[in-house]
Amino acid sequence: MIMIEHIDGITFRNKVLEITDGIGTPGVIRWQLVLCLLAAWGIAFLCLIKGIETSGKVVYVAATVPYVFLTILLIRGLLFDGATEGLLYFVTPRWEQLWKFSTWGDAAVQIFYSAGLGWGGVATLASYNNFHNNTQRDVIILLVLDGLTSFFAGCVIFVTLGFMAKQSGVHIDDVVEQGPGIAFMVYPEALASLPLPQLWSVLFFLTLFTVGLDSQMVHIQTMTGAVFDNFPRANKKKTVVTFIVCLSGFILGLTCLTQGGIYVLQLMDWYVASVSIMILVFMEMFVLSWIYGINRLGKDFEMMTGKKPRNTLKIGIGLTTPFALLFVWIFSLVQHSPVTYGDQTYPKWSIGIGWMIALISLVPIPVGMVYTLMKEKGNIFERLRHSVKPLPSWRPANDDDHNDNAELEKLNYVSEKETFA
């Protein structure tokens, strides 16, 4: 590890975290971090008191400010000695890595994180769109912007890493370790080179906070939206429900604020992202295209956008994407290694807890299936057949959103054979 990272790493570990020697020694709760967490949840709650109206205005700022700040850092970083080497290291393909299934697994996890796939946030926010909104256009814009943003942020990081490596005479691979080192070690090094570094540091961490607040609000809306959809009476007490969700998130977050909390954070990130998210998204897509039916989905798409989906879109949704996900997930599991943090290994009992955390998010699926089958009547096959048929209430909420009642009836009352088409 190079000297620059070593110095910043000591500050981050010993001053900010007061880190212990392992997850088995959690230590005491860091009250400074508790206050930061309380402020984060408190501000998120205030932003969501009036629902999507207030959060939408906050997102305008939270989504644009980071681009301005990254542009400043990139321009300054390109003037560093060693910036070119860092940038070339970032954009130079290493083809041998493409033969490793772990590379594809890591890439899939990164996409799920950056694009918000599988968490429910995208679906929740999309539900506030107009019924006839061009969903296909929005998806393309989202994915393109997500990819360009990741590339842009990567350029900022690696020009700084090139400078840090040049200063210490080591390879870029040895500059920072895994975990939160990028945010708390690399960016501050770039900020220190700017005029009035204290001012830029405050602006940077304020920007970092707005990025986190943006994601935090989406997660809160996803959870409150699920409550409101399943318990309509709760809509009358939106503020109370939002407060309960924020308070629960704050309490659960305390486990990551002990002196050994960084190990807990790494444990959750390691197993939830690589184990449960991919299989969850696979099951969502499989049910959508093979149980609900790709043909029925295409009719829904046509009714909403006024355009028939292309066959390539149907193939992608029904075949290419779900089975590619399943393939990557299986081989990621085969090559999955126990969690580590830097050079610290985890005891077996903590690895077991990590697997339990990963599986908890999947438990509601079989529980929901059993509950649904128990409500139906008849033998097991009749219950299964009726449980996968759309209910008569499955229709646009606003009658003005459809023009042909016959088409709507076709969507609601399809043959049982088409259910599995």
Binding site residues for Na(+), as ranges? 114, 214-215
The rounded distance, in Å, linking the Cα atoms of 304 and 307 is 8
Compute CA distances 317 → 64, 106, 287, 293, whole Å: 31, 22, 11, 11
Sign of CA dihedral 400, 406, 409, 415: negative
- The DSSP-derived string for 382-410 is HHHHHHTSPPTT-S-SSGGG-S-HHHHHH
The angle formed by the CA atoms of residues 245, 246 and 252, to the nearest 5 degrees, is 90
The rounded distance, in Å, linking the Cα atoms of 326 and 339 is 22
Torsion of CA 87, 90, 91, 94, to 10 degrees: 140
Helix 101-115 and helix 321-334, axial crossing angle in degrees, nearest 10: 120
- For the chain, the distance separating the N- and C-terminal CA atoms, rounded to the nearest angstrom, is 56
Among 180, 145, 133, which Cα is nearest to 16's? Answer: 180
- Annotated binding-site residues read 114, 214-215
Q: What is the DSSP letter of 116?
A: T
Compute CA distances 135 → 81, 104, 125, 287, whole Å: 45, 27, 12, 20
The rounded distance, in Å, linking the Cα atoms of 26 and 34 is 15
